[in-house]
Structure formats: C-alpha cells, structure tokens
Copies of this chain bind each other. A is one copy, B any other.
Amino acid sequence: MQIKEILQTAEIGKEITVKGWVRTKRVSSNVVFININDGSVIHNIQAVAETGIIDEETLKLVTTGSCVAITGTLIESQGQGQKVELQVKSVFVYGTADPEKYPLQPKKHSLEFLREIAHLRPRTNTFSAILRVRHSLAFAINKYFNDNGFFYLHTPIITGSDAEGAGEMFRVSTLDPIKPPLNEDGSVNYKEDFFGKETNLTVSGQLEGELGAMALSKIYTFGPTFRAENSNTTRHLAEFWMIEPEVAFFELEDNMNLAEDFTKYVINYALTNCYDDLVFLENRLKEEEKNKKKEEQSELSLIEKLRFVVDNDYVRLTYTEAIKILLNSKRHKEGKFQYPVEWGIDLQSEHERYLVEKHFKKPVILTNYPKDIKAFYMKQDEDGKTVRAMDVLFPGIGEIIGGSQREDDYEKLLQRTKEVGIHEDTIWWYLETRKYGSAPHSGFGLGFERMVLFVTGMTNIRDVIPFPRTPKSAEF
C-alpha cells in the first residue's frame, strides 16, 4: 500500500506494510521514530517502535537512504505534524545506505550539488515534488487536448530538413567519424549515411504538425526538441520538451483563445491535483528568497501567482502598442532598460517582464510583430510590415508561448521561403499543403520546461527536467 493511499484512506487499527526509503531515524530512550517516504506523495509516514521490537542488528541498518518494508498497525498519531502513524511490528531491510558514503544525509543540500547527483536527487523532497508536478502538468496537457478533440501526432525527431530555421542543430549520423566518405568536391557524401542524406535532430514539429492539421483539423505534438546553442543560462536546455497544437480554420483570435484557455486549464489542474506539492514548493521558495533583497522577492506567493493567472483575463495588444507603452515608460525615459527600445526590435526579457509585471500586472498576449523578426511561415498582415504572430508573456518567465496564424497563400509563402533562403525542394511537401486544399490555420509552441518552471517556482531550468542536457554536460 502506497503512502498516498494510506494517508487518504487512513483506516485506523488496520495492519499494513509500508515500503519505502528511510528519510530520518531518531532513537529516544524507549522509542525509535523512523520516517519513510515512497515518492507517491510529499508526506512521509512515521513509524514508531518501542525498544526491543526491532532487533539491534536490523536497527543499525535502518539509516537515511536505506530501503525498508515496515509492517505495523495504523494508529492515530500521538505527536504533532501527522494525523496517523505506524505502530511497528516488524522491519525488513531491502537495501542499506552506508551513512559514511550516501550523499543525501538529512541536511540542506544546494541545488548545484544536487544537479551533480541527478541520479539520486529524485529522492529529495524538492525534486520528488517537482517530478510529481511535472507529471501532472504533462497529464493535464494530454487530457486537455484529448477532451477538446485534438489528436496527438508524433512528429519525427530525426529530420532531413532545417526548414524552421529556429537555430543550430545536432547532426545525426552513422558515418565513420574520422574518415567520412567524401564527394569529389571534398564535402561529406551523405548519400552513404544511414538515411541517405544529411539528418539532424528536430528543432520543432510544427511543419509536420501542419500536415496533420490539414487532414485531422486539430492536432498537437508533445515531444523532445533540440537546440545546439552554446547557451549556458538558467533558461536554456539543449534538449527539452515542446507542445505544439495546430488547428485548421483557426485565425489569430481563435489561437489566442486556445492559448489562454489551455494554459489556465493546465495550471488549474496542477492547483487541484498537486496542492500539497505546491505548498511545499511555495515554502521552499519563500525560504530561498529570504536571503534576497526586498525588491528581488516575489510580490505574490507561488500559489497566489498561479491563482492570479487562472483568475484573470490575459491582456491582448499589438506589438506596436507595446512599443509605445515601453517608449512612454518612466523606466525607458530614465534609461534603465539595458537594451534599446524602438519599433522593429526583438523584445528582450526585461521588456516583456516590464509589460507583464509592472505595467499590466497580468499575463499579456502580444500580437502582430514585425515580419522581419518572425518566422517565414507566419501569415502576413495587409500592411506588409507585420505578421499574425502572438507571444504569450508570463510573470517571471517572459515568453512562455510563441505562435501565429500561418501563411496559407501558396505564392506568398513561396516568396517568403525564397527571401529567407530555404530551398523549395527541401520543403516541397510543406508548400503542397497550400497547393491542395489550403485553409486558414494557426498554432503555437509551449516549451514544457518553461511551464514547469513557472508552476514550481524554480529558477533554473536544469532543475525541472530529470536529466538536463547542456553544453559540456550529458551525464546519466
């Protein structure tokens, strides 16, 4: 019986066996207290044994990190902090954990240290809470789309086209790494590679997702994506998970409605289903921020922040309007933005966060960005200068969603591919969706780890994925 179930049903007087890992052991004069956790829930269960119940030899093996099965009777707790506890009848030790060597002794560990032992950190309260929340968010995403008539489409991970142009890519190959076969001109002869062509890891499933939407009307992807960018920041991973819905007959307005409804649903799901984990993470964050300057502390607690998103309408305005607000801001006038503000710039995180956190104090959806700073596939506005893009901006995170209505006019799309230097023969299949039964359609991408960061209140993206991949690091 798992601890989550025990705490929920709590049948006093019943004999049960709890299997899990020892968090702490405390021996007092005539009683032993053993706290066990099995990862099913943030809470431990406390086992209490009177002296003599557990033999000396066994008791020695019961140390922090050891794995045990404890059988006993569930009773109302005598102490504080828990409703029920286990009156021990017998203890079996599955596996020991040498106190001299086991790194997760009951004391405070830095997040940096825990990253180095990512194979063990899920055994801590913080990381087990993050992983449970991560699970619930993933399930909520699948449930939302399923319940709303979307089909989960597995788009390819290995791709022969760099059409998205979203960044540097990882090459996938089985050629001899030292002496690859070469063409006469000295270039690599990829015809001899596994796939008979040069292949890379995908940066986005969107283009293939559009193919699905042009047949099934409503699809979404949820899979790993990759960027070979040498960015050693708290916001970048080389391997991360992305969600990309794509809907036929949706225009920009529908797309905004979907993004707002979807993010609210997912966050609300976490509030309902992970409340205890969120309370723990909220307290962790408060503790962490104690050492920060007042102005760097969060105004809202974690749960307040999540409720705030769920309860408020997102503000919607155009990029052009946003630039005006930034130009008129006191912060700009006092020269306190690090990056310049003018129409045409790619907004920096400081600008996005100013709009969200200072000006509107609400999530913001910016639309109709300049054509030149957005991808080739976005639908051009009639002014010829902007495209039907939309970015959803969240407090603390900045951009959490990027999307657009797609260009559905074959000639316009073809021209844009030429302008940005994409060869027609690499994406003939994409262009054909505009040749045969083209339709207005829209979609967006959500970086899953950005959402997990937001909901857990963590600050480093390496702490919300089980085994982070970053420059010079691919451990475990």
Residues in chain A within 8 A of chain B (CB atoms): 2, 4-5, 19-22, 38-40, 65-67, 69, 94-98, 101-102, 119-120, 122-123, 127-128, 131-132, 134-135, 138-139, 142-143, 146, 149, 151-161, 168, 170-175, 177-178, 180, 182, 186-188, 194-197, 199, 201, 208, 211-212, 214-218, 223-224, 226, 228, 230, 238-239, 241, 248-249, 408, 429-430, 432-440, 465-467, 469, 471-476
Contact = CB atoms under 8 A, between A and B. Distances in A.
Given A94-B437, A196-B473, A208-B467, 4 more contacts: A67-B438, A119-B433, A195-B474, A196-B474
B149 A19 contact: no
Given A160-B475, A170-B174, A437 B216 contact: no
Given A172-B172, A437-B21, A438-B94, A154 B241 contact: yes
A182 to B, nearest CB: 7
Contacts of A160: 474-476
Counted per complex, copies of this chain come to 2
Contacts of A199: 474
24 contacts: A5-B149, A66-B437, A67-B439, A95-B439, A102-B436, A102-B437, A119-B429, A119-B432, A122-B212, A122-B215, A132-B216, A138-B154, A139-B142, A142-B142, A156-B239, A157-B239, A158-B474, A160-B474, A160-B475, A174-B228, A178-B182, A196-B471, A196-B474, A212-B466
B157 A224 contact: yes
B469 A120 contact: no
B172 A214 contact: no
Contacts of A170: 158, 172-174, 194
Contact of A471 (B178, B194, B473): B194
Nearest to A430: B119
Contacts of A211: 119-120, 122, 466, 476
Contacts of A134: 152, 154
A134 B373 CA distance: 37
Contacts of A196: 471-474
Given A139-B146, A151-B135, A208-B467, A215 B128 contact: yes
Contacts of A208: 466-467, 476
Nearest to A173: B171
A212 B131 contact: yes
Nearest to A17: B249
B156 A476 contact: yes
Contacts of A101: 435-436
Contacts of A433: 119
Contacts of A154: 134, 138, 224, 241, 465-466
